[in-house]
């Protein structure tokens, strides 16, 4: 198919940019492990309270793992348990979340901690909390009448 | 200059009976615009924190009305009205059988819409139009929406029937460009809406009737988004039809290239569908590998838009230069800026630049965490759908409705249409701009007003939420204006003939290769890509499924 | 003028227009990427 010379330049530039984006995000993901939350860990949503680690929600210091703390959170309409998470700045934290009822979101505003929590699945995200502050954790997936009152607080302290 | 005689030859009037069918769809579309727009206004007011809904109406009820009426009803009905007229205009009057299919489709969709609307108004279905299982609506809501989809298949069959008839009558010839584009859009629609039909018929309806106890939540979401992204291209492609075929004629120029237009539509058919995972990037149960594969396919779908951008600028520049435009950008001045049929869709094209750029960011794999389910996304699709697509539809309505009703757009109405577009642009810039900004701060979408227990972060969002209400109010004024113009064109404008503008292909453009109309090839590639992108992850979603979820009614 | 020049219309303005568009996409994407990298 015949194309104008400039159209060929434009397509080369445009497609080149798209390839560049893909190389950057692909390399970050598959070389540096910066994947979006994609766990394949399953749980019976009716028995969440009985199953470890969700039988003990809260922040736990751990040893011998790639991260320093585990923040275990149970979401349900319209609460997060625990209502507050405190971790020291610079520590590597694994956020582990599941839900007892419908689909919820789990997002700490102003951070990259942002994942969907689905009944039957465990979602997790590991990150180094490197900035002191209070970050509002909120539900960003519609879950019912109390959706906008569902919250917790992430406190990153000295 | 065209002579009067040439213009008379050029003039093709859509048959009255086809016009009636097209108009029926367009009426429903604009009623949906009024009601859905009112719901949108209420949402922005509530979200500002300055206003609460009276009479116990729920925020999420209003949100469901807004999403269903504007995302599904306004778009589908306007698109069908436009497509019916376009097929009749370029391939000839529909046969009685094709038109009857159109009417059966129309009534099936309308009965379905009414049933779903009643359930929403009774507060039995505040599940938003993305369904959100295991939230469980009344079964009639699901049946109603299923009827909308089935009705669209029946009506679509009438349009496709005309294309098949034309091809049989004209062997070896490329079909009229506009009809071809309609058929590509319908093919994409049918292939993708099969997904949501399976979800509704085999998962949600039996579950909401109590025939089965539980639902596979991730499978239902995957089926929805298999449909949900091509849905947005189903909205966009009719806008592209106007840009490719109608606008060149409006500016007095030619279509830059018939083959490139067809090629970009075929690329949309191929790459619009196997991309739904980019709506599920932060979900568990789907591996990063399959998500990334669909991210790659998602960015492929940008390519036909890159082609389109070039073709459009080129047809503008060639026309502007022919009118004496000099230098690098002198041609810009030569374009008919005072013609609403050009200016209104043109603003839509401009809005697609930030809209498209934002879309690429949204689909960029892990970067999705930056904005997932924040109100940035709402800001994004209010640029793409609610500006690019909607303004193009408005611009098309200004010639399509008078063409069908046998009236003319007066000078005053043309001026009002331009004012309408400016009002829309200002309102949207304020509303969508604020949404983009606080989205990056983390403010959520689909959320009632909340101070989140006095959180400092949430407090900093409120000024922007007030700005959204200001923008939303301006937009609602825009809706009143467009409805005024539409009412004028239906009932009051002076009688006369209005052209349905269809561009001719530039003499310089090469002959269209017939391979572009070989459906066996294109549909085979389309289905192969879908199977490639979805088979393994869907098998895993079913095979590894956790215990299913019972239904919840939490509103 | 050769025949080829007749066939190829002058599209310099188009080239600059799409060039602006492409640059806009690149700049916004890298701004978003920077924000993503900067946050935890």
pLDDT digit string (tens) for B508-531? 777 888 888 999 999 999 999 999
Query: pLDDT tens for residues B473-512?
Result: 999 999 999 999 999 999 999 999 999 999 988 777 778 8
Buried b (16+ CB within 10 A) or exposed e, A54-77: beebebeeeeeeeebbbbbbbbbb
ipTM above 0.90, yes or no: yes
CA dist A102 and A48 (Å) reads 13
CB atoms within 10 A of CB A8: 11
Catalytic residue list contains B78:
no
Cis peptide before B134 (omega within 30 of 0): yes
Q: Residue B12: what are its φ and ψ, rounded to 5°?
A: -120, 125
Mind listing the pLDDT tens digit for each residue in B253-276? Answer: 999 889 999 999 999 999 999 999
In the predicted model, what is the mean pLDDT of residues B304-330? 92
Helix-helix angle B411-441:B375-383, to 10 degrees: 160
The reply to whether residue A136 touches residue B458, judged by beta carbons under 8 angstroms, is yes
CB of C16 less than 8 A from some CB of B: yes
> Are B302 and B360 spatial neighbours (Cβ–Cβ below 8 Å)?
yes
Active site residue B279: no
| Window A:87-146, CB contacts with B under 8 Å | 101-103, 105, 107-123, 134-136, 138-146
Report the C-alpha gap between B49 and B386 in whole angstroms: 24
Least confident interval from B166-175, B343-352, B393-402: B166-175
**B320 and C17 Cβ atoms separated by less than 8 Å:** no
Q: Which of B25, B138, B167, B382 is catalytic?
A: B382
Report chain C residues whose CB lies below 8 A from the CB of B364: 29, 32-33
Answer whether B399's CB lies under 8 Å from B501's CB: yes
* Chain A residues whose beta carbon lies within 8 Å of the beta carbon of residue B458: 109, 136
Residue B505, pLDDT score: 87
Under 8 Å CB-to-CB from B470, ≥6 apart: which residues?
B430, B431
Question: What distance in Å separates the CA atoms of residue B115 and residue B120, rounded to the nearest whole number?
Answer: 9
- Across the interface, which of A43, A113, A149 has its CB nearest the CB of B450? A149
Q: Does C4 touch chain B (CB under 8 A)?
A: no
CB B382 within 8 A of CB A150: no
User: Which two structure tokens, joined as six digits, stand for A4?
Assistant: 């104008």
Under a CB-based contact definition with an 8 Å cutoff, are residues A53 and A96 in contact? yes
Q: Check residue B10 and give its pLDDT.
A: 64
- Binary contact (C25, A111; C-beta < 8 A): no
Q: Which of A30, A42, A119 sits opposite B217 (nearest CB)?
A: A119
Model confidence at B8: pLDDT above 70: no
Count CB-CB contacts under 10 A for residue B200: 24
Average pLDDT rounded to a whole number, residues A19-36: 94
Predicted local confidence at residue A112, as pLDDT = 95
Write the Ramachandran bin of B549: left for phi over 0, alpha for psi from -120 to 50, otherwise beta: beta
- Local structure of B48: helix, strand or coil: coil
Residue B211: which pLDDT band, with cuts at 50, 70 and 90? very high
A146 CB neighbours in chain B (<8 A) are 554
Among the options B99, B229, B278, B403, which is catalytic? B229
């Amino acid at each position: 198919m015949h194309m104008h010379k400039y159209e060929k330049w434009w397509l080369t530039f445009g497609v080149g940019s798209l390839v560049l984006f893909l190389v950057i995000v692909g390399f970050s993901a598959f070389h540096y492990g910066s994947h979006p939350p994609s766990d394949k860990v399953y749980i019976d949503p009716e028995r969440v309270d009985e199953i470890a680690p969700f039988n003990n929600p809260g922040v736990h210091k751990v040893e011998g793992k790639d991260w320093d703390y585990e923040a275990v959170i149970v979401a349900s309409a319209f609460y997060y348990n625990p209502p507050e998470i405190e971790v020291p700045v610079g520590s590597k934290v694994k956020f582990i979340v599941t839900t007892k009822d419908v689909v919820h979101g789990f997002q700490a505003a102003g951070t990259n901690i942002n994942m969907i929590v689905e009944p039957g699945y465990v979602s997790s995200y590991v990150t180094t909390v490197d900035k002191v502050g209070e970050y509002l954790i909120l539900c960003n997936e519609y879950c019912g009448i109390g959706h906008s009152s569902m919250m917790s607080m992430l406190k990153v302290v000295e | 200059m065209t002579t009067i005689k040439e213009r008379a030859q050029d003039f093709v009037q859509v048959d009255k009976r086809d016009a009636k069918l097209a108009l029926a769809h367009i009426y429903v579309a604009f009623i949906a615009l009024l009601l859905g727009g009112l719901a949108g206004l209420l949402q922005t007011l509530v979200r500002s924190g300055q206003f609460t809904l009276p009479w116990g109406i729920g925020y999420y009820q209003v949100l469901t009305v807004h999403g269903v009426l504007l995302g599904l009803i306004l778009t589908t009905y306007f698109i069908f009205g436009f497509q019916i007229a376009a097929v009749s205009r370029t391939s000839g009057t529909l046969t009685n059988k094709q038109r009857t299919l159109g009417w059966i489709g129309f009534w099936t969709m309308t009965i379905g819409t009414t049933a779903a609307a009643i359930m929403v108004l009774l507060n039995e279905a505040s599940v938003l139009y993305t369904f959100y299982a295991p939230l469980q609506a009344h079964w009639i809501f699901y049946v109603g929406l299923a009827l909308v989809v089935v009705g669209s298949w029946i009506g679509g069959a009438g349009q496709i029937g005309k294309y098949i008839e034309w091809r049989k009558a004209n062997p070896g010839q490329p079909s009229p460009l506009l009809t071809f584009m309609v058929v590509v859009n319908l093919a994409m629609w049918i292939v993708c809406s099969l997904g949501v039909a399976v979800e509704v018929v085999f998962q949600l309806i039996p579950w909401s009737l109590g025939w089965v106890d539980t639902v596979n939540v991730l499978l239902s979401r995957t089926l929805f988004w298999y449909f949900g992204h091509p849905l947005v291209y189903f909205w966009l492609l009719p806008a592209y039809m106007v840009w490719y075929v109608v606008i060149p004629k409006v500016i007095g120029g030619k279509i830059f290239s018939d083959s490139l237009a067809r090629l970009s539509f075929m690329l949309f058919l191929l790459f619009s569908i196997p991309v739904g995972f980019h709506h599920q990037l932060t979900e568990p149960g789907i591996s990063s590998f399959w998500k990334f594969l669909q991210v790659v396919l998602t960015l492929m779908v940008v390519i036909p838009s890159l082609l389109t951008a070039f073709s459009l600028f080129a047809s503008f520049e060639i026309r502007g230069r022919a009118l004496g435009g000099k230098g690098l950008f002198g041609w810009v001045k030569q374009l008919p800026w005072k013609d609403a049929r050009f200016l209104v869709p043109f603003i839509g094209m401009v809005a697609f630049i930030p809209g498209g750029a934002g879309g690429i960011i949204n689909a960029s794999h892990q970067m999705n965490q930056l904005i997932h389910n924040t109100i940035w996304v709402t800001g994004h699709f209010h640029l793409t759908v609610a500006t690019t697509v909607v303004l193009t539809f408005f611009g098309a309505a200004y010639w399509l409705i008078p063409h069908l009703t046998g009236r003319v757009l007066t000078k005053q109405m043309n001026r009002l249409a331009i004012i309408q577009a400016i009002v829309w642009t200002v309102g949207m810039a304020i509303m969508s701009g604020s949404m983009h900004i606080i989205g990056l701060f983390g403010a959520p979408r689909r959320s009632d007003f909340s101070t989140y227990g006095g959180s400092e972060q949430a407090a900093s969002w409120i000024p922007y939420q007030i700005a959204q209400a200001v923008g939303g109010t301006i937009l609602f004024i825009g809706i009143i204006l467009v409805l005024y113009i539409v009412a004028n064109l239906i009932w009051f404008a002076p009688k006369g003939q209005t052209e349905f503008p269809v561009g001719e292909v530039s003499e310089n453009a090469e002959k269209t290769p017939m391979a572009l109309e070989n459906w066996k090839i294109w549909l085979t590639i389309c289905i192969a890509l879908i199977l490639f992108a979805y088979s393994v992850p869907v098998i895993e979603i079913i095979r590894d499924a956790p215990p299913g979820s019972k239904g919840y009614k939490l509103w | 003028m050769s025949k080829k020049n007749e066939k190829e219309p002058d599209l310099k303005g188009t080239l600059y227009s799409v060039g602006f568009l492409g640059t806009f996409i690149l700049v916004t994407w890298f701004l978003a990427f920077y924000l993503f990298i900067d946050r935890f």
